[in-house]
Every structure is written in structure tokens, then in C-alpha cells.
Amino acid sequence: MVEQKKLLGELLVENNIVTEDDIQRALRYQNQYGCKIGQALVSLNIITENKLLAALRYHCGLPVVDLGNIEIPPQIIRLISGEMAERYTAVPVRIEETGKGKTLLVVMSNPSDLNAIEELQFIAGYKISPVLAKESDLQAALLKYYDIKTRPIGAISVSLEDDSDAGEMTIIQGGEEIRIVLNSEEKKELEKSQEDGSGEGQLKMNYEMVLKELKLWKAVVKLLINKGFITMQELEESLTKKDE
């Protein structure tokens, strides 16, 4: 009977890299954002990318490529189209000669995707050997060679514009968006004063103070989510919960 391969989470717990509680947190994060368990662990700052890569190397039995320290020739990049690279989060690295012919090494976000490997083999005209790399290096390579911009799982983007809409702060994480509006009444009062010219100086000063507060809150929220103290779902529930 063939022994069933252990799950990555089980492997990490057995080697005391993470705890069971860490895995449960990561699973909740995974369910929320649809990412892989390893990506969830990194996004929650439970493990580093280097530790995850070492675990994946052991778990998958695949070699690792340092994408950050190599330059991929244009003729290699052209073997896989931008569309295929984006679809499968894959970047070709080099062609290697083996006893069975030429093999194209391809860094893949999901090296166990057999359908992806078959399609890439058909497109490139070479046998594909998937290899591993840090997720951040893979995303950087997609941007560098294909001009494909990707957003890391769990990454936060906060926008704050110093204009008439500056009373709003938008936080986007994992494809979900929350818009926070602070001091909306003061914003309306400012707009009214700008129309009739009354009290504009004092209100403008107050409004600048509001902007400073917004920027401070932006930094605090970003730090809390990056450190895993709060999730986007918990933040949204807190913002929408009525005061008791």
C-alpha cells in the first residue's frame, strides 16, 4: 500500500516550525482569501518566506531557484506567453540538457498542477520540470519580464487623497474593499463653507487635522493587519457594529 503524503501543515507542525493554533489561524485566512496554506502562514507573519521555501523543498522534493539573482534571457522568456505566465503564475528559467533530451525549468506557484504542466509543455515545445522559488521573487519576475502586476495574498493597499474626497480611507486586502469615512459631518461643513465663503480658514485648519488623523489611522490599521492582530473581516465587523 502506497503511503499517503503528508500535508504541508502537518509537516510544519511535526517539525515544530508552527503550532496547531497557527495552522488553524492560517486555515481561516485561507478560507477567507482563497490562498494556499503556505501563503497564509507568510501573510500572517507566522513563518518567513525562507522557512516556507525550505519546507516546500522538502515536502515537494523539488529544486529551488533564486530568481532574485539571475537574469533570464529573452529567448527563454518567449517560450511561455504572458497569458500563460499569468494564468499559471509561472516563469521559465533555463533549458537543461539531460540524458532524455532538453528540459525547460519553470518556476511555478503550484508545481503540482499537472494540467498546467501539460499545457506549458505543449506551448513551449519542451518537457517541463517545475522548480520552486520565493513567492515574492516569482511575483517580481512576472513584473520584470512580462509586466504582469500581482498582489501578494493578504497585501494591503491604503489610499488617501488630499482632495475633496480626503475624508475617506480605502483599505483593500485579499480582493476585498472597506471604505472608512471619518468626520463626514465636518467634511460637509467644509464643502458648504467653500460655496458661501463663510469660516473657510478655521474649517480648513480643522480639515487638515482630520487628514493627519486619517494618515495616522492608515498606518495603525496597516500595521495591525500585517502583524496578524486583526483580519479584514474582523475590521469590517467592528466598523459596521452598532454601538451598544
Residue pLDDT, tens place only, 36-55? 899 899 989 999 999 999 99
pLDDT confidence bin for 220, thresholds 50/70/90: confident
Does residue 208 or residue 121 have the better pLDDT?
A: 121
Whether the pLDDT of residue 156 is over 90: the answer is no
3-state secondary structure of 143: helix
* Rounded average pLDDT over 59-63: 91
Determine the Cα angle at 101 with ends 100 and 102, to 5°: 135
Which pLDDT score, from 0 to 100, does residue 192 have?
57
Query: Look-up: residue for cell 497585501?
Result: 155
Q: How far apart are CA 93 and CA 131, in angstroms?
A: 9
Does residue 168 or residue 118 have the better pLDDT?
A: 118
Total Cβ atoms within 10 A of residue 97:
8
Which pLDDT score, from 0 to 100, does residue 125 have?
94
Which pLDDT score, from 0 to 100, does residue 185 have?
57
Q: Which of 71-85, 112-126, 200-214, 218-232 has the lowest mean pLDDT?
A: 200-214
Q: In the CATH hierarchy, which fold is given to the domain comprising 67-146? A: GMP Synthetase; Chain A, domain 3 (3.30.300)
Which pLDDT score, from 0 to 100, does residue 3 have?
45
Whether the pLDDT of residue 58 is over 50: the answer is yes
The ranges assigned to domains in the chain are: 8-60, 67-146, 156-239
Whether the pLDDT of residue 150 is over 70: the answer is yes
Proportion of the chain above pLDDT 70, given as a percent: 64
- Residues 66-84: b if buried by 16+ CB within 10 A, e if exposed: ebeeeebeeebbebbeeeb
All three cell numbers of 63:
529544486
Does residue 221 or residue 37 have the better pLDDT?
A: 37
Which pLDDT score, from 0 to 100, does residue 221 have?
74
Which pLDDT score, from 0 to 100, does residue 104 have?
96
| Crossing angle of helices 200-226 and 232-240, rounded to 10° | 140
* Rounded average pLDDT over 159-164: 38
Mean pLDDT (the chain) is 77
All three cell numbers of 54:
525550505
Does residue 187 or residue 100 have the better pLDDT?
A: 100
All three cell numbers of 184:
463626514
